[in-house]
């Protein structure tokens, strides 16, 4: 079962009618999820003014940045969830936490260069 199916099941089990759920089930990573979610929203004619992003706490910054690029002008609220024993209070006390948090920091630094230059029009010169 993929992430989309899992979370759809969670929503339905918690009383959300299936008719209120629009799935994006083709993405394999966060970047695709953000931009493919935008495509799905546009295909359904949705005008999104505010959105909640639930994600792993150590992944929240990169997730937020990607969704800002995919949904400019939308007010985004991030709800970070601590998983895998990694939290803001103690991520640096074990090797796995250091690897995950600093890996995310590294990806924030290197995955956005082309996106931001493109957004600002630097690639059109």
Question: What does the alpha-carbon distance between residue 57 and residue 81 come to, in Å, rounded to a whole number?
Answer: 5
Check whether residue 69 and residue 42 sit in a common domain: no
Check whether residue 39 and residue 78 sit in a common domain: no
Report residue 31 as tokens.
Answer: 């970047």
The structural domain count of the chain equals 2
Check whether residue 70 and residue 34 sit in a common domain: no
Check whether residue 13 and residue 65 sit in a common domain: no
Check whether residue 42 and residue 61 sit in a common domain: no
Phi first, then psi, for residue 44 (nearest 5°) are -90, 5
Q: What is the pTM of this model?
A: 0.83
- Final residue before a domain boundary, out of 47, 69, 84: 47
Check whether residue 96 and residue 63 sit in a common domain: yes
Residues of the chain with pLDDT under 50: none
Residue 66 CA to chain centroid, in angstroms? 7
Check whether residue 7 and residue 33 sit in a common domain: yes
Check whether residue 120 and residue 62 sit in a common domain: yes
pLDDT of 123 reads 66
SS3 56: strand
Question: What does the alpha-carbon distance between residue 66 and residue 72 come to, in Å, rounded to a whole number?
Answer: 10
Check whether residue 34 and residue 61 sit in a common domain: no
Give 62-95 pLDDT, tens digit per residue: 999 999 999 999 999 999 999 999 999 999 999 9
Structural domain range at position 42: 1-47
């Amino acid at each position: 079962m993929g992430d989309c199916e899992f979370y759809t099941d969670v929503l339905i089990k918690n009383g959300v009618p299936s008719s209120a759920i629009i799935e994006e089930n083709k993405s394999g990573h966060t970047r695709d999820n953000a931009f493919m979610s935008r495509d799905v929203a546009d295909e359904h004619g949705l005008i999104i003014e505010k959105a909640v992003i639930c994600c792993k706490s150590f992944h929240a910054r990169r997730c937020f940045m990607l969704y800002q690029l995919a949904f400019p002008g939308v007010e985004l609220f991030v709800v970070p969830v601590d998983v895998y024993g990694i939290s803001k209070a103690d991520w640096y006390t074990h090797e796995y936490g250091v690897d995950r948090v600093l890996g995310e920091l590294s990806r924030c630094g290197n995955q956005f260069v082309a996106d931001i230059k493109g957004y600002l029009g630097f690639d059109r010169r």
